[in-house]
């Protein structure tokens, strides 16, 4: 495993296991498998409804808590200072943890300034080792840390071969904020796993197209959290530290950039309205 050091000195694995769209009933099993295979970064979200499964797998694993890096996220419904403090306690109870490694604001809507100030408090109290955000474009990220005390340690944004986010990467590097990729496989959009260029590069290294996509992100210094419920694919996703893509191949993959998401447009006001109305509890 390779690691990055966040802007507050905390070490974070560069590759982890995500549980997006994993059914609550299946989560404990797949997270247990991931831990057995050597994953130590586990990324979940309050809105997925599977924090309890993650917590159960961690408890049963017997792995020392200090060897794990657990991330969860705050949903928009719970933004605001007091709501965030309550939501954090709910997540911690479901996870069965005494402290959290990384807590992220899931989307930049509603009262995320109140949420951030509550997270700053939890961070200063030692209940969270690092705090950050998800899906914050550069100007919102800049305004957030310009108006608060603690700079985000991580910004988790969609990053993949179709939507490569070079400007966002440059700004985060300039500011010492760790770039983390969600949807590193673009959720399979545009037949990405069978793209001729990626297949050609994969054959060259004796790897799969999925492994090439992950390695390409890792060599950019980006943390990745691929998701699969299949053990053989989970094993494949973590076996990406034994080869290095050439500069030529890195540049070739860069030509695939469409500069837009194949999943959904985060700048679409209708999308923002729908996210703002989504409730995960009463």
Catalytic residues: 48
Whole-number Å distance between alpha carbons of 227 and 249: 24
Whole-number Å distance between alpha carbons of 119 and 100: 11
CB 31 within 8 A of CB 54: yes
39: helix, coil or strand?
Answer: coil
Whole-number Å distance between alpha carbons of 1 and 113: 35
178: helix, coil or strand?
Answer: strand
CB 133 within 8 A of CB 141: yes
CB proximity list for 100: less than 8 A, separation 6 or greater: 70, 71, 72, 88, 91, 92, 127, 128, 129
Q: 3-5 and 11-13: which strand pairing?
A: antiparallel
CB 14 within 8 A of CB 1: yes
């Amino acid at each position: 495993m390779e690691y990055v050091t966040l802007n507050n000195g905390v070490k974070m694995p560069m590759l982890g296991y995500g549980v997006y769209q994993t059914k609550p009933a299946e989560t404990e099993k797949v997270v247990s498998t991931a831990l057995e295979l050597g994953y130590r970064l586990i990324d979940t979200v309050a809105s997925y409804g599977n924090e309890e499964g993650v917590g159960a797998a961690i408890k049963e694993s017997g792995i020392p808590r200090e060897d794990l890096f657990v991330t969860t996220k705050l949903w928009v419904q719970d933004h605001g200072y007091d709501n965030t403090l309550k939501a954090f306690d709910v997540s911690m109870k479901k996870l069965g943890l005494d402290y959290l490694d990384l807590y992220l604001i899931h989307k930049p809507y509603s009262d995320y300034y109140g949420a951030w100030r509550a997270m700053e408090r939890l961070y200063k109290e030692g209940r969270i080792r690092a705090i950050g955000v998800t899906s914050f474009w550069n100007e919102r990220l800049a305004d957030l840390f310009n108006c608060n005390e603690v700079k985000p340690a991580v910004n988790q944004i969609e990053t993949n071969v179709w939507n490569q986010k070079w400007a966002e990467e440059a700004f985060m590097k300039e500011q010492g904020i760790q770039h983390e990729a969600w949807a590193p496989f673009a959720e399979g959009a545009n037949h990405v796993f069978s793209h001729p260029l990626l297949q050609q590069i994969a054959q060259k290294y004796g790897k799969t197209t999925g492994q090439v996509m992950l390695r390409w992100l890792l060599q950019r210094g980006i943390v990745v959290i691929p998701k699969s419920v299949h053990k053989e694919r989970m094993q494949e996703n973590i076996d990406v530290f034994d080869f290095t893509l050439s500069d030529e191949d890195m540049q070739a993959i860069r030509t695939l950039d469409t500069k837009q998401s194949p999943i959904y447009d985060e700048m679409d006001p209708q999308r923002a309205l729908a996210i703002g109305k989504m409730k995960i509890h009463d």
